[in-house]
Amino acid sequence: MDKTFLEKTMIFRGLSDSEIDSALTVLRSVEKKYEKDTTILYAGDVTDQMGLVMDGSVTIENNDIWGNRTVLGHVGRGGFFAETYAILEDEPMMVDVRANDDCTILFLKMGSIRTLTDSGQSWSSKIIANLLSISTEKNLHLSARSFHISSKTIRGRLMSYLNSVYLKTGSLAFDIPFDRQQLADYLNVERTALSKELGRMKRDGIIDYDRNHFEVKSRELIDM
């Protein structure tokens, strides 16, 4: 297992090598590999394990009984999923977790906060603090999506999303983690309408793009 990589992840931030070794043992860590498009966790599942993406990426989705899909988020290498469900006891998942690529996941059996607190391990308080940071960051991402889809127009939703990526990367040229269908699902619009609007924005000189690589061409988007 790549200890250097683990040290850089948020869940193990501030832990020494020996503390990481101890945490991996106590939390019954196990690595699993999944092929692209495999569902890792289903809505309705009850889990006591959180997932750390060691390689590849996953998407967090809501799939209703009518076959409609909403992409709620993307989790890349070093990111986490199901941490809230892993801590809450007997709480069914409200979302699906799907492998966006061939991926490797490290599962950590979290148990309750009380279990971690009472474990007597030197690293337990650090893990709890890191979990709070992870949860806070996830809330920000969910809030951002709510902001993006608040616009009544597809262009407004696209500009809100692309502006947020620009602000996060600090670059006028960047890659997004979604393909066209996933981006449409994330922004809650039809794929065909999304593609047409992207074409219009390109002709209007606002953006340029090639697949999932985008370049901002107009201050109209930057100055939102």
Average pLDDT for 20-41 = 95
> Whole-angstrom Cα distance, residue 183 to residue 193?
12
Per-residue model confidence as pLDDT tens digits over 35-84: 999 999 999 999 999 999 999 999 999 988 778 889 999 999 999 999 99
| pLDDT level of residue 224 (50, 70, 90 thresholds) | low
Per-residue model confidence (pLDDT) at position 113 = 66
Residue with the two structure tokens 């597809």: 154
Would the pLDDT of 15 be above 70?
A: yes
pLDDT at residue 85, as a whole number: 92
CATH class of 150-222: mainly alpha
Q: How confident is the model at residue 115 (pLDDT cuts 50, 70, 90)?
A: confident
How does DSSP assign 31-98, residue by residue? EEEE-TT-EEE-TT---SEEEEEEES-EEEEEE-TTS-EEEEEEE-TT-EESHHHHHSTT---SSEEE
Higher pLDDT, 66 or 17: 17
Measured CA distances, 29 to 25, 43, 133 (Å): 6, 23, 21
Instruction: Locate 123 and state its tokens.
Output: 């690293």
**Is 93's pLDDT higher than 70?**
yes
Residue spans per domain, the chain? 3-143, 150-222
Look at residue 116 and give its three-state secondary structure: helix
pTM: 0.83
| Residue 116 pLDDT > 80 | no
Cα separation of 135 and 83, whole Å? 8
Q: Report how far residue 77's alpha carbon sits from residue 105's, in angstroms, rounded to the nearest whole number.
A: 9
Which of 10-14, 59-63, 122-126 comes out lowest in average pLDDT? 122-126
Q: What is the CATH class of 3-143?
A: mainly beta
The one-letter amino acid at 138: K
Q: How far apart are CA 202 and CA 187, in angstroms?
A: 18
Counting Cα atoms < 13 Å in the Cβ hemisphere of 181 gives 5
Q: Are 92 and 46 in contact (CB under 8 A)?
A: yes
Measured distance CA(215)–CA(160) in Å, rounded: 15
